[in-house]
Each structure stands twice: as structure tokens, then as C-alpha cells.
């Protein structure tokens, strides 16, 4: 059975749980990282020398790097679901949003989560947090614009291109912060919230 290593409150782990749920794959979720540890142990490091989560074991196939895992599972088990688009151009656009989420959005987003959710209220530095919120907002405006002209980041139908951003957007809308109005982003998020796989894998306590 597919094994998914990683604490479920990590956005990168949520991506993998979500695609597994979308595909209806049976899997075992193994807590690791953060307070669970394990990811600094030799056995784990032998599988992922980066010492981070997520990691999957699909029989004897081991893979780390969350977007690569989402692509692999969608390609290997997606059949004609469209989760892994066949058309090279549609797939390239999905890839673009997946990689942009990781390369550009993740760091400023993490700064907001660290400041708001993972820092005790009496230690929070709102000047710094607000700077990070502004950076994230400036980036999300690009996503809002994209979603003005198409229903999904994967194109006309839901697909792997929606998965990384969908995991971050959950945190964005659930954190107790003031947010600029982004109607297309909000509409897309409301749409994702209707998906049983999103409810189960992503909409878990935001800690």
C-alpha cells in the first residue's frame, strides 16, 4: 500500500494527501516532521536526504518533493481523469502554477503562518507579519487575475495545477487576518471546498 510520510498540518503534505484522495487510492499516512520527529533519523534520511516531509513509498519506489509526488501519482494512477493533463500546453500551464507556488509563494506565506499561527500572541510582531501579508497579497492578485479568465489553474477542469495553490489558499482564508477582496480567488476556493477530497485532506485543523 502507498505510504505517505509527513505531518498532516504541512501544506506540502496536504498536497499529497489531497491527490491520493482525489484518485481514491488506499494509503497509510505516517506522521513525521515537526513535533513527531522521525525525519532526522538515519532510516528516514536514507530515503530522503533532505530530511523534510512529504515522502512517499509506492511499493519499492521512493519519491520526495511534493510537486513531483503530485505529478507522479496523477500520471501513474489518474487514467483519463484529467488530473494529469495529456495536452502538453495545458500540462505546462498546470506545471507553471505548481512550480510558481513553490518557488515564489511558499516563503512569504510561511512567514505569515509562522507569525500568526505558530507564534504566541504576546510575541507576535505585526509590523513584520503585515509586510509578509502584503507580499502574499501582491502575489495572490496574479492568481486572482488568472482565475478571472478560467475556472481552474489547470484550465477548464480541475487538475494537478490546482493542488499546490489550493493547499495554501486554505490557510490564507482560514487565518485570522485582514485580506484584500479577491473575488475570483474566493470563488475558486469556495469551489474547492465542495470537493470531498479537499475536505478530507486539506481542511484539517490549521496549526
Residues that bind ligand GSH (CB under 6 A): 10-12, 33-34, 39, 52-54, 65-66, 102
Residue nearest to ligand GSH (CB): 33
Q: What are phi and psi of 17, to 5 degrees?
A: -60, -40
CA 144 from centroid of its chain's CA atoms: 17
* Residue 35 vs 86, nearer CB to ligand GSH: 35
* Residue 119 vs 157, nearer CB to ligand GSH: 119
Between the alpha carbon of residue 166 and those of residues 37, 46, 111, 149, the distances in Å are 26, 30, 18, 18
* Residue 67 vs 82, nearer CB to ligand GSH: 67
In angstroms, give the least distance from the CB of 128 to ligand GSH: 20
Q: What is the DSSP secondary structure assignment for residue 152, as one 8-state letter? A: B
* Residue 54 vs 161, nearer CB to ligand GSH: 54
* Bridge pairing between strands 2-5 and 61-64: unpaired
In angstroms, give the least distance from the CB of 120 to ligand GSH: 19
Rounded CA-CA distance 203/95 in Å is 23
* Residue 65 vs 131, nearer CB to ligand GSH: 65
CB within 8 Å of 135: residues ≥ 6 apart: 108
Q: Which helix (H) or strand (E) holds 3?
A: strand 2-5
In angstroms, give the least distance from the CB of 94 to ligand GSH: 16
In angstroms, give the least distance from the CB of 52 to ligand GSH: 3
In angstroms, give the least distance from the CB of 6 to ligand GSH: 7
Amino acid at each position: 500500500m502507498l505510504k505517505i510520510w509527513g505531518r498532516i498540518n504541512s501544506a506540502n503534505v496536504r498536497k499529497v494527501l489531497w491527490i491520493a484522495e482525489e484518485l481514491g487510492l488506499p494509503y497509510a499516512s505516517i506522521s513525521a516532521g515537526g513535533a513527531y520527529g522521525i525525519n532526522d533519523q538515519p532510516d528516514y534520511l536514507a530515503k530522503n536526504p533532505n530530511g523534510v516531509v512529504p515522502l512517499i513509498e509506492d511499493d519499492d519506489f521512493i519519491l520526495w518533493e511534493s510537486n513531483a509526488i503530485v505529478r507522479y501519482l496523477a500520471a501513474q494512477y489518474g487514467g483519463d481523469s484529467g488530473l494529469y493533463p495529456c495536452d502538453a500546453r495545458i500540462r505546462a500551464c498546470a506545471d507553471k502554477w505548481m512550480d510558481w507556488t513553490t518557488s515564489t509563494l511558499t516563503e512569504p506565506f510561511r512567514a505569515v503562518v509562522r507569525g500568526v499561527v505558530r507564534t504566541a500572541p504576546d510575541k507576535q510582531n505585526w509590523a513584520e507579519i503585515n509586510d509578509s501579508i502584503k507580499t502574499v497579497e501582491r502575489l495572490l492578485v496574479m492568481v486572482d487575475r488568472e482565475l478571472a479568465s478560467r475556472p481552474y489553474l489547470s484550465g477548464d477542469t480541475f487538475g494537478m495545477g490546482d493542488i499546490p495553490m489550493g493547499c495554501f489558499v486554505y490557510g490564507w482564508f482560514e487565518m485570522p487576518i485582514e485580506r484584500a477582496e479577491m473575488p475570483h480567488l474566493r470563488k475558486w476556493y469556495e469551489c474547492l471546498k465542495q470537493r470531498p477530497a479537499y475536505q478530507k485532506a486539506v481542511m484539517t485543523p490549521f496549526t
